[in-house]
Amino acid sequence: MAVEVAGVRYTYPDGHPALDGVDLTIRAGERVALLGPNGAGKTTLMLHLNGVLTPSEGSVYIHGTGVDKKSLRDVRRRVGVVFQDPDDQLFMPTLAEDVAFGPANFGVSGPALAERVDEALTVVGMSEQAGRSPHHLSGGQRRRGALASVLACRPDILVLDEPSANLDPVARRELAETLMGLDTTMIVVTHDLPYAAQLCERAVIVDDGRIVADGAILDVLADAETLARHRLELPWGFDVATMRALSERTGGSVPTG
């Protein structure tokens, strides 16, 4: 298993219970959408996967290694988190320096570091922007730059928080195509249900700190009663039956454009 979450409870310092006995396993190579309304506990759960938050009760394992103070450095190398706001991750004078920052902190240097930077920028289609300031890039470019800064660390597990937020249709498609080309285990935290269906084969719904649904993503999205009960709604015109037919025709993947 890539991720094993067992009996995790978490209460914030103000006394608010955010996670209430979460059990979740994710196999290596799986693509899982983490869905739920605002305040459901999705981001709190996400932050447990690389040790930003520590459970009040329960345990988290990454590829069999328990997440604790001793393993934190290795876990953060193996679990790469791409935050919703790329400005939380891009802060150096040039994009190339931002992409180099993570692996350099893990001890990569010299030609190996340059190779990591080139490789990551190529994967996200941003090689030509390497020398530019991130602040001069478009929203979609910054999102892909933030992704490159995480990919340069060569994580085993990629966690994305609302990857499609505030992107125009072309930028959404370009990012989806990039993500579909990756072979890492992927966890996508999102309210964007069609985008989740493009990227993932499995969906987990979290509400009130608990997992309330877990299954094949098109089956979960076809359950209108469950979606409504947990304040999730498909956009007008979205048809699960059509998506299922496209998925079957393309061997299990949903076209991105």
Confidence of residue 253 (pLDDT cuts 50, 70, 90): low
Confidence of residue 256 (pLDDT cuts 50, 70, 90): very low
Residue identified by tokens 């992927």 is 186
Q: For residue range 62-121, list pLDDT tens digits in order.
A: 999 999 999 999 999 999 999 989 988 999 999 999 999 999 999 999 999 999 999 999
The CA distance from 18 to 21, in Å, is 10
Confidence of residue 240 (pLDDT cuts 50, 70, 90): confident
Q: For residue range 190-219, list pLDDT tens digits in order.
A: 989 999 999 999 999 999 999 999 999 999
* 59 DSSP β-pair partners: 6
| Fold of the domain built from segment(s) 1-63+187-257 | Rossmann fold (3.40.50)
Give mean pLDDT, residues 243-252: 71
Give mean pLDDT, residues 13-24: 94
Confidence of residue 246 (pLDDT cuts 50, 70, 90): confident
The CA distance from 31 to 204, in Å, is 11
- Give me the residue spans of the domains in the chain: 1-63+187-257
The CA distance from 110 to 95, in Å, is 18
% of the chain residues with pLDDT over 70 = 96
Give mean pLDDT, residues 168-179: 91
Confidence of residue 241 (pLDDT cuts 50, 70, 90): confident
* Contact predicate 161/150, CB 8 Å: no
Strand order in the sheet with 17-26: 17-26, 3-11, 57-62, 65-66
Q: Residue 147: pLDDT above 60?
A: yes
Confidence of residue 257 (pLDDT cuts 50, 70, 90): very low
Q: For residue range 34-51, list pLDDT tens digits in order.
A: 999 989 999 999 999 999
* C-alpha dist (Å) from residue 43 to 54, 119, 243: 13, 29, 27
